[in-house]
Amino acid sequence: MAWAVGSGGDLRQGNPGHDSEASRSHPEHHTFLVTSERDFARDRGASLLDQGRLADALEGLQALSLEDPSDESTHLLYAEAIQLAHRDASRPGGEACRCGSGRPYRGCCLGRQRRALRHFGDRQTLYRLRDHLLDYFLDNPNFEPTRDLALEAWFGEGGSSFEDDPTELADDARVLAPFAYEWACTNLPVHWNGERDDCLLGCFAGNPSEPAALTKRAGAWLDHGLYGLWQCSAPEAAPGVWLTDLLTGIHRYVSIPPEQIEALAPWVVLGGQLLPVDGVWRTGGVLLVMSPKEANVVASSIRDLWPEVVEEADHLHGRRRRTDRKRVTPALGSAAAAELTSPLVGMAMPGIKQSLEEARSCPPKLRNSEGEPLMFITARIKVRDARPLRLAMSDHPDFIEGADCGVIWLGCEMTRVEAETLRAAALAYAAERGEALVEEEGPQRYERGHLRFRGRTLVAEVNSEARLDNLLELLRRFGADPEPISTKRTDPQAMLERERIRHQESKAGRRSGAGDHPESGTDDLPTEGELCPEAMLAWQRAWLDEPIPALGDLSPRRAAEEAESRVDLEALLRQLEYTSARRGALAGLDVAAIRAELGMSPASL
The answer to whether the pTM exceeds 0.85 is no
Residues 6+ apart with CB under 8 A from 303: 247, 329
Per-residue DSSP letter, 440: P
Task: Count the residues in the chain.
Answer: 605
Q: Using CA atoms, how far apart are residues 507 and 501, in angstroms rounded to an integer?
A: 10
- Per-residue confidence (pLDDT) for residue 448, from 0 to 100: 92
The predicted structure's pLDDT at residue 418: 84
pLDDT of residue 507: 53
Which residues lie across from 229 on neighbouring strands? 271
**44-73 pLDDT per residue, tens:** 999 999 999 999 999 999 999 999 999 999
Nearest to 179 by CA among 199, 155, 215, 213: 155
Confidence check: pLDDT of 421 > 90? no
What's the one-letter identity of residue 219? Answer: G
Residue 260: predicted pLDDT: 86
Q: Is 392 buried (19+), middle (13-18) or exposed (0-12) by CB count in 10 A?
A: middle
What's 373's DSSP letter?
B
Q: Are 228 and 343 in contact (CB under 8 A)?
A: no
C-alpha 293/C-alpha 564 separation (Å) is 19
User: How are beta strands 251-255 and 241-245 bridged, if at all?
Assistant: antiparallel
Question: Phi and psi for 548 in degrees, rounded to 5?
Answer: -120, 125
Do the Cβ atoms of 113 and 85 come closer than 8 Å? yes
Query: Looking at the predicted structure, is the pLDDT value of residue 372 above 50?
Result: yes
Does pLDDT of 142 surpass 80?
Answer: yes
Res 428: pLDDT: 82
CA quadruple 250, 255, 257, 258: dihedral sign: positive
More confident residue, 201 or 320: 201
More confident residue, 322 or 474: 474
69-118 per-position pLDDT tens digit? 999 999 999 999 999 999 998 899 899 999 999 999 999 999 999 999 99
Q: What percent of the chain has pLDDT over 90?
A: 51
Please choose, from the candidates 423, 395, 394, 419, the residue with its C-alpha nearest in 3D space to the C-alpha of residue 406: 394
> Measured between alpha carbons, how far is 347 from 341 in angstroms, rounded to an integer?
10
The 8-class DSSP code of residue 256 comes to -
Chain-wide mean pLDDT for the chain? 81
* CA dist list (Å): 359 to 265, 345, 355, 567, 571: 20, 19, 6, 25, 20
Task: State the average pLDDT over residues 298-315.
Answer: 76
| Encoded amino acid at 496, one letter | L
Q: For residues 370 and 420, give the distance between their C-alpha atoms in angstroms, rounded to a whole number.
A: 19
Backbone phi and psi for residue 164, each to the nearest 5 degrees, phi listed first: -80, -40
Residue 182 half-sphere exposure, CB side, CA atoms within 13 Å?
24
Residue 363 pLDDT greater than 90, yes or no: no
Report pLDDT for 168.
Answer: 45
Please give the pLDDT value at position 472: 96
Q: Region 309-315: what's the mean pLDDT?
A: 61
Structural contact between residues 95 and 105, judged by C-beta atoms closer than 8 angstroms = yes
Spatial distance between the Cα atoms of 82 and 88, rounded to a whole number of angstroms: 10
Tell me what the mean pLDDT of segment 139-156 comes to: 89
Answer for the pair 200, 185: CB distance below 8 angstroms, yes or no: yes
**8-22, 494-508, 559-573, 585-599: the lowest-pLDDT one:** 8-22
Q: Going edge to edge, which strands form the sheet with 483-490?
A: 399-401, 407-413, 445-454, 457-462, 376-382, 483-490
Q: Are 270 and 287 in contact (CB under 8 A)?
A: yes
Residue 139 has pLDDT above 70, yes or no: yes
pLDDT score of 497 more than 60: yes
| Backbone Cα Rg of the chain | 32
- Residue 133 — φ and ψ, nearest 5°? -60, -45
pLDDT at 172: 52
Strands, E, within 108-225: which ranges?
Answer: none
> For 12-39, how does the pLDDT look when each residue is reduced to its tens digit (9 = 90+)?
233 333 333 333 333 333 333 456 788 8
Instruction: Enter the DSSP assignment of 528.
Output: T
Q: Shortest CA distance to 413 belongs to which of 380, 382, 440?
A: 440
Measured CA to CA, the distance from residue 368 to residue 579 in angstroms comes to 23
Indicate if the pLDDT at residue 517 is higher than 90. no
* pLDDT band for position 312 (cuts 50, 70, 90): low
For residues 392-419, give the mean pLDDT: 89
pLDDT classification of 252: cutoffs 50, 70, 90: very high
